[in-house]
Structure 1
Amino acid sequence: MHPIAQALTKFQTELQQRATLVAVSKTKPLEDLQIAYDQGQRVFGENKVQELQNKQPVMPDDTEWHMIGHLQRNKVKYIAPYISLIHGVDSLRLLNEIDKQGRKINRVIPCLLQVHIAQETTKFGLDIEEVRDILLTNGPEKWPFARIEGLMGMASLTDDKEQIRQEFRGLKELFDQLKAEGMFLHTLSMGMSGDYPIALEEGSTMVRIGSSIFGARNYT
């Protein structure tokens, strides 16, 4: 069995009904994606619009594409017709643009609000007050073509597992609070190759796994 297929089978078995697996295929060639597809994987995550534009027309039609990286507003229009989920809605301006582009083509675009939970200032994301303002003050009906389905967060890049756990736990608590206050949210995207076991223990419903499936990335 090919190493990609072998790794993917491991994750598919481990996750089963616990969480959706997003196979993060950024920088990887189409041959690698096809191996994963042939193993039953349908959900792939990319963080560059240009890569999405190159890969989407070539892969089978039932492939689901998730935009997991920082998304510039001027590039939303290029992925609006086919993107299955935008994970990183990290500003009100981006949410407005997604709604605008969805309205133009009469397509509702599923989104997650990215919450800043890590200690690193380099990570993108909304703070809790901004999330609550979008969902509870303005309300999702303000953006009918940008459907907010849940939250996403990235933990700190650290060896301190307790810190990672607390960051994920805080996001899950926010997720549960918003649902209790009437928000129809069903996706909590948290956990990557290095920290997904903790994320699952803390209630993640979607994990983003790249290098543990496809191997180290080539950024040259």
Structure 2
Amino acid sequence: MSLKDNLNNIKNTLPENVTLVAVSKTKPNEAIMEAYEAGHRVFGENKVQEMVQKWEGLPKDIEWHMIGHVQRNKVKYMAEFVSMIHGVDSLRLLQEINKQALKHSRVISCLLQMHIAEEDTKFGLDFEELEALISSGEFKAMQHIKIVGLMGMATFTNNENQVRKEFKYLKTVFDNLKQKLPNISILSMGMSGDYGIAIEEGSTMVRIGSSIFGARNYT
């Protein structure tokens, strides 16, 4: 099956309220253009440098989502164009995004990343850290970031019950947060292996790469 077929098959299974982020990390511009010509516009990258190179060489109506862990010193390279930053897991990172967005007279949409998996390797805030962040004076003073929702990654496991439990927890945190930040609307959870469960549990944004582009090439 072609990349276009893969893309259309996935889009046909998604409810109307769910946004597809096509994860194009490690993929060449030609593959992204194939998806672009099939009508897709939202792409996700996990390395700032790679995303900058692609932004420079590809159509300017593409929405670039930074879905990987972000180092503060890299924010300045993408502040001019990035549409959304998914992995925001500290006040200091938010302050840097706010600072760099100001330089470009932009407001950058951000998702706060929650740690929901049992693996220690995943980044993210716990519930207490989330509460502390959104109630801080520094957070309330920032004019150039917009918190639009939450993001989380489930444990990498074949145990569907565990994955479902983690997504369910994130949805509960999201509903709780919405009472304090009524404008949030995005719950980004679910990737190629588990997006079906994520959607059942309330996801409104899924990040899918290999099911569209095929296996990744890390060479």
- TM bucket (normalised to shorter chain) is over 0.9
Contact 1:135 1:183 in 2 (8 A): no
Q: What's the counterpart of residue 51 of structure 2? A: 52
CA–CA separation in structure 2 for the residues paired with 1:9 and 1:82: 27
Q: What's the counterpart of residue 171 of structure 1? A: 170
Cα shift readout 1:28-60 (whole Å, capped 9, x = no counterpart): 011100000011110000000111111002211
Contact 1:193 1:212 in 2 (8 A): yes
TM-score, normalised by the number of residues in structure 2: 0.96
Tell me the CA shift for residue 139 of structure 1.
7.6
Instruction: Name structure 1 gaps, 5 residues minimum.
Output: none
Tell me the CA shift for residue 70 of structure 1.
0.6
Cα shift readout 1:117-168 (whole Å, capped 9, x = no counterpart): 0000000011111112222344853221111110000000011100000100
Contact 1:99 1:144 in 2 (8 A): yes
Secondary structure of 2:17's match?
coil
Tell me the CA shift for residue 184 of structure 1.
2.0
Q: What's the counterpart of residue 26 of structure 1? A: 25
4+ long deviations beyond 4 Å: none
* Aligned residue runs from structure 1 range 104-123, under 5 A: 104-123=103-122
* Aligned residue runs from structure 1 range 135-174, under 5 A: 135-138=134-137, 140-174=139-173
Q: What's the counterpart of residue 90 of structure 2? A: 91
Q: 1:181 to 1:54 in 2, by over 3 A?
A: closer
Tell me the CA shift for residue 178 of structure 1.
1.3
Query: Percent identity over the alignment?
Result: 58
Tell me the CA shift for residue 183 of structure 1.
3.5
CA–CA separation in structure 1 for the residues paired with 2:39 and 2:157: 32
Report the number of matched residues: 219
The letter for the 2-side match of 1:124 is F
Instruction: Name structure 2 gaps, 5 residues minimum.
Output: none
Contact 2:134 2:140 in 1 (8 A): no
Q: What's the counterpart of residue 40 of structure 1? A: 39
Q: What's the counterpart of residue 202 of structure 1? A: 201
CA–CA separation in structure 2 for the residues paired with 1:95 and 1:106: 16
CA–CA separation in structure 1 for the residues paired with 2:17 and 2:203: 8
TM-score, normalised by the number of residues in structure 1: 0.96
C-alpha RMSD of the superposition: 1.3
